[in-house]
Amino acid sequence: MHRAPAVPQLAGCYVISLRPADAHAALRREAARHGARTFALAPWRIAQRDDADTRAALAHALAADVVVFTSPPAAAAAAALQPLCARAGQAWLAVGAGTARALARVGVAGVQSPARMDSEGLLSLPALTAVDGRSVGLVTAPGGRGVIAQTLGNAGADLRRADVYVREPTPPAPARIARLLALPDPWLLPLSSGEALTRTLAALPEPALARLRRAQVLAASERLEALARDCGFAWVERATDARPASLLAAARPGEARMSHHDSR
C-alpha cells in the first residue's frame, strides 16, 4: 500500500532572515529541509577592521585572564588580524556553539560555550561569575551584545574591549521592499539579534512594518521574546537557542495559517 509522502512541516511558509548579508545560508538550508522558502532581509553587512588601533586593542584583549568572543564574525576577524592561541591559565569563552566552532576552525581548542546560547547564558559560565579585579578581553563589534560589557564592568572586571569588525547598514531598496510585500502568508521571523530587529524596523516603511508585525516571531531567548512584544509583534514563540534548527523547531505553522485566515 502506497502512502502519500509526508508534507514538510513548514511547506508554504516564508522565513524572513535578518542575518547579515552573505550569512543566510545555514538558515536557508534549514528552512528548505522543512519545506519553507527564505527571504533575505539583511540589516547590515560585516566589514572587518584592519588598522593599528584595532590590532593593539586585540592584542591587549587576548592577553586577559578570560577572553570572550561574541560571534563567529568576531572569531574570523580576530584570526585575520593575528594568530589565535590560548595561553596556559586563560579561559576562552564563546557566546554559543557556532562561535566555538569558528574558533576551532582557526586552531583554538577547548573553548567553553554555554548550553543557553545567549548573553545571559555566557555570563553564567563559571569563568565569569567572579570577575572583580580580573581582566576580561571582549572580542566583538560596536553595538550588539551590550549587556555583556555592562554586566562585566558592573562586576568589577578590568574590561579590555576589541571591536574587530563593524556592521555596515544595508537598508532595503524600494524594489526589495516591494518583493517582501508580495510574499504570501504565513511568515516566520527567526530572531537571534535584538539589534537586527530594531534596525530592520527602523528601515521599513509603514506598510511593510504592519505586514512584518503579523509574522510569527521565533525568539532565541526570553530577552528577545520581550523585545519582539515591545516592538508590536503579537505572536512570539520561544526557541531553545539561536541555532537555525532550534529556531524553526519553535514554529507553529498550522496556527499561523489559521491566524492569517482569521485576520483577513
Q: CB–CB of 186/13 below 8 Å? A: yes
- The C-alpha cell of 86 is what? 590560548
Distance, in Å, from the CA atom of 28 to the CA atom of 35, rounded to the nearest integer, reads: 10
The reported pLDDT for the residue numbered 255 is: 59
Distances (CA, A) of 89 to 64, 127, 135, 191, 216: 10, 11, 13, 36, 45
Per-residue confidence band for 179, with pLDDT thresholds at 50, 70 and 90 = very high
The reported pLDDT for the residue numbered 213 is: 97
Per-residue confidence band for 144, with pLDDT thresholds at 50, 70 and 90 = low
DSSP characters for 104-148?
HHTT----B--SS-SHHHHHTSGGGSS-TT-EEEEEE-SSS-HHH
Q: CB–CB of 201/231 below 8 Å? A: yes
The reported pLDDT for the residue numbered 259 is: 47
Structural domains of the chain ordered from first start: 14-43+170-263 (3.40.50.10090), 47-167 (3.40.50.10090)
Query: Is the bond leading into 186 cis (omega within 30 degrees of zero)?
Result: yes
Torsion angle of the four alpha carbons 194, 196, 200, 201, in this order, in degrees rounded to the nearest 10? 0
pLDDT exceeds cutoff 50 at 83: yes
Per-residue confidence band for 158, with pLDDT thresholds at 50, 70 and 90 = very high
Mean residue pLDDT across the chain: 91
The residue written with cell numbers 590560548 in the block is: 86
Q: What is the pLDDT of residues 32-77, one digit of tens each?
A: 999 999 999 999 999 999 999 999 999 999 999 999 999 999 999 9
Q: What is the pLDDT of residues 198-226, one digit of tens each?
A: 999 999 999 999 999 999 999 998 889 99
What's the DSSP call for residue 48? E
